[in-house]
Amino acid sequence: MFRQATKQATRQLIANSRAITAKRALSVAARKTATSGLRSTAFAAKPLVATRGIKQINFGGVEETVYERADWPREKLLNYFKDDTLALIGYGSQGYGQGLNLRDNGLNVIVGVRKNGASWKAAIEDGWVPGENLFDVQEAVKKGTYVMNLLSDAAQSETWPALKPLLTKEKTLYFSHGFSPVFKDLTHVEPPTDIDVILVAPKGSGRTVRSLFKEGRGINSSYAVWNDVSGKAHEKAQALAVAVGSGYVYQTTFEKEVNSDLYGERGCLMGGIHGMFLAQYEVLRENGHSPSEAFNETVEEATQSLYPLIGKYGMDYMYDACSTTARRGALDWYPIFKNALKPVFQDLYESTKNGSETKRSLEFNSQPDYREKLEAELETIRNMEIWRVGKEVRKLRPENN
């Protein structure tokens, strides 16, 4: 099967390469490797079978415990939470994904959002019924045995004075980000010390949490414990992680979760990669290259041809799949980029750890017109030449013809 899948992937890769640019072709050697089944041993050693469970995995020399869906089959989840009401507060990206997955898993979940806001309307459209399983925030918190705080991070801070007194002893408090409690000096969110406080952070948007669940897969998530008053906080977090739609779950701390998350999204996941695309594109344009050439050599080939290979088979595989000329140059230049960028990443980590990023986020996202201001910034991006060119290039993809 792997051979077949690899052959398909290779055919796709060749098609993409031809469509995008003829310049960088697959080397004969890489094609041979891709179709010869040489890599099938490594792939076959990690089959995706439903029977996996808790296991120790050696990640590059470091042993970690990983929890999987198989540890919490549906019947076990239903039994574990049979006396509970899961009060999910906030129905934005995560509220939508986690909430619908909990509901589809058959658990007793209710949603709490401010009445007549955008989320209230969205929740009704998704089948939540006012007075039955849709309430205002405070009412839902009162009813819940688990309070799943999925308000935006700025709103968690804003609403805390009203919510904290409602977090009585028998409840468990849940977050999907370490932001509020870790930076409590800025957010003023100081969880009560007499209740369990846990975290499950899906590594993706709420839309992905939902779509992967519907595909019968699951998103990767981390979990952490802030307070373990009952002695069962770890178990609760692992169970809830699976209940909201995680495929596998690894342990972290609230501090590590928030620092890695803020750092990652400002770096390689979003800000860093955007900055690198812009820098490369601008230099090409300044040197007389056409917009379509600059875009294809910067973004289209990356996202359509090479990055999917990194995701599926690893960086070495991607190198292996490119021409000898491309390989030589990339091998010579990656340390130069790494050395130039590392100080920027060090500054970014410091800015995350010392709370500067949190302060900036709270200040910006607490403004009444933050959505309009954000939209104005996104409009600027939308209107940049590179992304306007991208819109046209996408239309030329074979699947859009």
Ligand X SMILES: NC(=O)c1ccc[n+]([C@@H]2O[C@H](COP(=O)([O-])OP(=O)(O)OC[C@H]3O[C@@H](n4cnc5c(N)ncnc54)[C@H](OP(=O)(O)O)[C@@H]3O)[C@@H](O)[C@H]2O)c1
Give the annotated binding-site residues for substrate: 323
CA atoms within 13 A of residue 110's CA, in its CB half-sphere: 22
- Per CB under 6 A, contacts with ligand X among 89-148 are 90-95, 113-114, 117-119, 137
Question: Per CB under 6 A, does 206 bind ligand X?
Answer: yes
| Distance of closest approach, residue 238 Cβ to ligand X, in angstroms | 17
Backbone angles phi, psi at 64, to 5 degrees: -135, 150
3-state secondary structure of 392: helix
Q: Which residues are annotated as a binding site for Mg(2+)?
A: 261, 265, 297, 301
| Residue in 153, 297, 320, 357 binding ligand X, rule: CB under 6 A | 153
Question: Per CB under 6 A, does 264 bind ligand X?
Answer: no
Stretch in the footprint of ligand X (CB under 6 A) among 7-15, 45-53, 88-96, 327-335:
88-96
Residue nearest to ligand X (CB): 92
Question: Per CB under 6 A, does 202 bind ligand X?
Answer: yes
Q: Give CA 65 to chain center in angstroms.
A: 20
| Distance of closest approach, residue 189 Cβ to ligand X, in angstroms | 11
Largest CA-CA distance found in the chain, in angstroms, rounded? 68
Is the CB of residue 87 less than 8 Å from the CB of residue 148?
A: yes
Question: Per CB under 6 A, does 158 bind ligand X?
Answer: yes
| Distance of closest approach, residue 183 Cβ to ligand X, in angstroms | 12
Question: Per CB under 6 A, does 357 bind ligand X?
Answer: no
| Residue in 34, 109, 110, 151 binding ligand X, rule: CB under 6 A | 151
Stretch in the footprint of ligand X (CB under 6 A) among 26-34, 100-108, 154-162, 391-399:
154-162
* Separation between Cα atoms, residue 218 and residue 5, nearest integer Å: 21
Stretch in the footprint of ligand X (CB under 6 A) among 6-14, 200-208, 228-236, 383-391:
200-208
- Count CB-CB contacts under 10 A for residue 291: 17
Please work out the total of residues on this chain that contact ligand X, with binding judged by CB under 6 A.
26
Backbone angles phi, psi at 230, to 5 degrees: -80, -15
- Please say if 177 is a catalytic residue: yes
| Residue in 20, 201, 219, 239 binding ligand X, rule: CB under 6 A | 201
Stretch in the footprint of ligand X (CB under 6 A) among 37-45, 153-161, 231-239, 245-253:
153-161
| Residue in 17, 101, 105, 152 binding ligand X, rule: CB under 6 A | 152
| Distance of closest approach, residue 175 Cβ to ligand X, in angstroms | 6
Is the CB of residue 365 less than 8 Å from the CB of residue 153?
A: yes
**CB of 40 or CB of 205, closer to ligand X:** 205
- Count CB-CB contacts under 10 A for residue 79: 10
Cα 172–100–239 angle (5° rounding)? 40
Cα 136–86–161 angle (5° rounding)? 50
| Distance of closest approach, residue 90 Cβ to ligand X, in angstroms | 4
| Per-residue contact flags (x/-) with ligand X for residues 210 to 229, judged by CB under 6 A | --------------------
| Distance of closest approach, residue 36 Cβ to ligand X, in angstroms | 39
Q: How many residues does this entry show for the chain? A: 401
User: Alpha-carbon torsion 295, 300, 306, 311, what sign?
Assistant: positive
**CB of 183 or CB of 313, closer to ligand X:** 183
- Consecutive H or E run containing 246: strand 246-251
* Separation between Cα atoms, residue 230 and residue 226, nearest integer Å: 12
* Separation between Cα atoms, residue 68 and residue 100, nearest integer Å: 20
Write out the DSSP string of 307-338: HHHHHHH-HHHHHHTS-HHHHHHHHHHHHHHH
Q: Which residues are catalytic?
A: 177
Q: Contact positions toward ligand X, by CB under 6 A?
A: 90-95, 113-114, 117-119, 137, 150-153, 155, 158-159, 176-177, 179, 201-202, 205-206
